[in-house]
């Protein structure tokens, strides 16, 4: 997994469901934009709808950061369509605000190193506008991911890209950053001693 961070994101071109319609989505569709790839195990399961709906409910925050979220599982586009048409109170994800990609042949899960026992683990990848993976996390099946932490990390990588400074542990927008050199870092350490 560590060899992915800082590397070119593996290419993909998959069938997808977006706004109740079938479409095809590729990595190239998002060049020049930030992208969050949100792998999840299966449609019509338990933790998965909580994650997808949490990210969907935060879609405006991602769009304000010029970032697209893509959900990906090994299910078919037909299963995705059925799930997006199922009401939330019945375990569905009706009203989802981002596309679901169908990795039916499981190649994308293999390429991103997260295929286990025939399904995708909960992999989350932040890809920059140059298609470079800046962040990767993987959760096992039983624990969902945090939208707030994803937004925090995304903002930090965007800050670093725009400003050339680096972000210390637990950094949030408005917090002090540091210069990535011995002298510049001293200012940060001196003010936080």
Instruction: Tell me the average confidence (pLDDT) per consecutive run of 10 residues in the chain, 193 residues long.
Output: 82 97 96 97 96 98 98 98 96 97 97 96 97 96 96 98 94 93 86 80
List, by residue range, all CATH 3.40.30.10 domains of the chain. 1-144
Closest CA to 101 of 23, 49, 47: 23
Closest CA to 78 of 100, 109, 55: 100
Question: Do 154 and 33 touch, CB atoms closer than 8 A?
Answer: no
- pLDDT, residue 183, reads 86
Question: Do 121 and 40 touch, CB atoms closer than 8 A?
Answer: no
Q: Which of 17, 36, 48, 96 is catalytic?
A: 48
- pLDDT, residue 184, reads 81
- pLDDT, residue 186, reads 85
Question: Do 43 and 31 touch, CB atoms closer than 8 A?
Answer: no
Nearest-Å Rg of the Cα atoms of the chain is: 18
- pLDDT, residue 1, reads 47
- pLDDT, residue 187, reads 85
- pLDDT, residue 147, reads 98
**What is the rounded end-to-end Cα distance, in angstroms, of the chain?**
34
Question: Do 42 and 119 touch, CB atoms closer than 8 A?
Answer: yes
Residue 167 among the catalytic residues: no
CATH of domain 1-144: 3.40.30.10
């Amino acid at each position: 997994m560590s060899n992915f961070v800082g590397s070119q994101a593996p290419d993909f071109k998959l069938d997808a469901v977006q706004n109740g319609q079938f479409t095809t989505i590729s990595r190239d569709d998002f060049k020049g934009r930030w992208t969050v790839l949100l792998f999840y195990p299966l449609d019509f399961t338990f933790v998965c709808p909580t994650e997808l709906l949490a990210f969907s409910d935060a879609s405006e925050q991602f769009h304000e950061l010029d970032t697209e979220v893509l959900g990906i599982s090994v299910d078919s586009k037909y299963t995705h369509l059925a799930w997006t048409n199922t009401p939330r109170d019945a375990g569905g994800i009706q009203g989802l605000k981002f596309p679901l990609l169908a990795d039916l042949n499981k190649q994308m899960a293999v390429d991103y190193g997260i295929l286990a026992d025939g399904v995708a683990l909960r992999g989350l990848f932040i890809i920059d506008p140059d298609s470079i993976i800046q962040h990767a996390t993987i959760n096992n099946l039983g624990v969902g991911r945090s939208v707030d932490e994803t937004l925090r990390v995304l903002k930090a990588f965007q800050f670093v890209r725009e400003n050339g400074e680096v972000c210390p542990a637990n950094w949030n927008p408005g917090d002090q950053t540091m210069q990535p050199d011995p002298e510049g870092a001293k200012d940060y350490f001196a003010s936080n001693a």
